[in-house]
Amino acid sequence: MGSVIAAAGALWIAVIMWDAFEAIVLPRRVTRRLRPARMFYRVTWRVWSAVVLRMRPGGRRETFLSFYGPLSLLVLLAAWAASLVTAFAMVQAGIGTRLNVEGDGVFLDHLYMSGETFFTLGLGDVTPMSRVGRAVTVIEAGVGFGFLALVIGYLPVLYQSFSRRELNITLLDARAGSPPSAEELLRGFGADHEELTELLAEWERWSAEVLESHLSYPVLSYYRSQHDNQSWLAALTTVLDASALVMVGIEGACARQAGLTFAMARHAVVDLAQVLGRPPVGSAPDRLPASELARLRTGLAAVGVVLHAGEGAEDKLAELRRMYEPYVVALARYLVMPLPAWRAGAEPHENWRTSAWGRPLGGAPSRSADPHDD
């Protein structure tokens, strides 16, 4: 029986260490379904989002959602550490290691010794009496030291990736509003195709960074933006919407860059949907019915952005939308992140114009305060 317990403990050590290696060290997507970290996020997010869906939409619900990403990461790290401590205690108990306590030690004594060894406390009040037990203790101390070093190095990398992602989302506020829209983004450039081309090139690189960072660290997908009316998914969807409009309605170098940006952004949403286990949604409410598309064309034409409406233009736009909308809808439903509209509406909201007291800045039109500041 002791050998079975020791073997089970050794196997669990190997499983947890490999899982931590894949999640922290390995810089690529892991497609295997049976992973402790994957099951942890599936179960905890299902419970967390079920609670969220019972709450009314608003600032309080968004605040509750924002806790999940950082909190789940800390709980996962604690679960890994607790698993390793328990597994090493099972190994020590299974091989029959005697301790310098009354009765040679029970499992709780092994668990205590394992904990102080893993966290390198060095108290020395409980020690193994056999050579094999001492060897296992040395191995555990090395594993614990390495685990803590990985965690210390992992958190700054994670938050640097988060900060880089949020930088462009914040910059999008003045260009496309909050929440952003393709109409507002294109209106800001008018007929200046050169500047629009530069912007689309920046968002091509941003999409590539999001793809790389969120595939390596999927937990970033659950991290919410600073403001309730912004999100990485809304920004990515807006970029896809705007790129599709440019590809269909504007010719020349701008359309070429829009195609490159569209390809990278579409790649990002498809791969992220696969990593999070979200199949594309087959049917969903139309985000751009024909009447809204006509109003969109009219609104853009009023500021000098003329989109070609020749034969086949609407069919091409519909084809492009089918390439990404089923995936962004699936991600939006799973992450409880609302998708942006194509049109800005009568009075687009911009966070930079508001304050926590709801007063407009510098004579700007009065707007409602950002829910994040409540």
Domain extent listing, the chain: 2-153, 177-345+368-373
CA–CA distance, 216 with 238 (Å, rounded to integer): 24
For 280-321, how does the pLDDT look when each residue is reduced to its tens digit (9 = 90+)? 998 888 999 988 888 888 888 887 777 777 678 888 999 999
Q: pTM for the whole thing?
A: 0.85
CA–CA distance, 253 with 251 (Å, rounded to integer): 7
pLDDT band at 8 (very low <50, low <70, confident <90, very high): very high
Q: Which residues have C-beta within 8 Å of that of residue 8, sequence separation ≥ 6? A: 90, 94
Find the mean pLDDT for residues 160-170: 92
Query: Cβ distance 204 to 264 under 8 Å?
Result: yes
Find the mean pLDDT for residues 6-20: 93
Question: 99 has which bridge partners?
Answer: 128
Instruction: Considering only CA atoms, give the Rg of the chain.
Output: 26
pLDDT band at 22 (very low <50, low <70, confident <90, very high): confident
Tokens of 120: 């390198």
Tokens of 17: 């260490």
CA–CA distance, 92 with 138 (Å, rounded to integer): 12
pLDDT band at 258 (very low <50, low <70, confident <90, very high): very high
CATH code, 2-153: 1.10.287.70
For 334-354, how does the pLDDT look when each residue is reduced to its tens digit (9 = 90+)? 999 999 999 876 566 777 777
Compute the mean pLDDT over every residue in the chain, rounded to the nearest whole number.
87
Residue 368 has pLDDT above 70, yes or no: no
Find the mean pLDDT for residues 98-119: 90
Q: How many other β-carbons are positioned within 10 Å of the β-carbon of residue 201?
A: 14
Query: Cβ distance 243 to 200 under 8 Å?
Result: yes
pLDDT band at 373 (very low <50, low <70, confident <90, very high): very low
Tokens of 128: 């193994």
Tell which residue, 14, 70, 75, has the closest CA to residue 43: 75
Peptide bond into 348 cis (omega under 30): no
Query: Cβ distance 197 to 257 under 8 Å?
Result: yes
CA–CA distance, 368 with 350 (Å, rounded to integer): 10
Residue 40 has pLDDT above 90, yes or no: yes
pLDDT of residue 175: 87
pLDDT of residue 253: 64
Helices assigned H by DSSP within 250-312: 253-275, 290-301
CA–CA distance, 366 with 102 (Å, rounded to integer): 75
CA–CA distance, 52 with 248 (Å, rounded to integer): 39
Which amino acid is residue 269, in one-letter code?
A: V
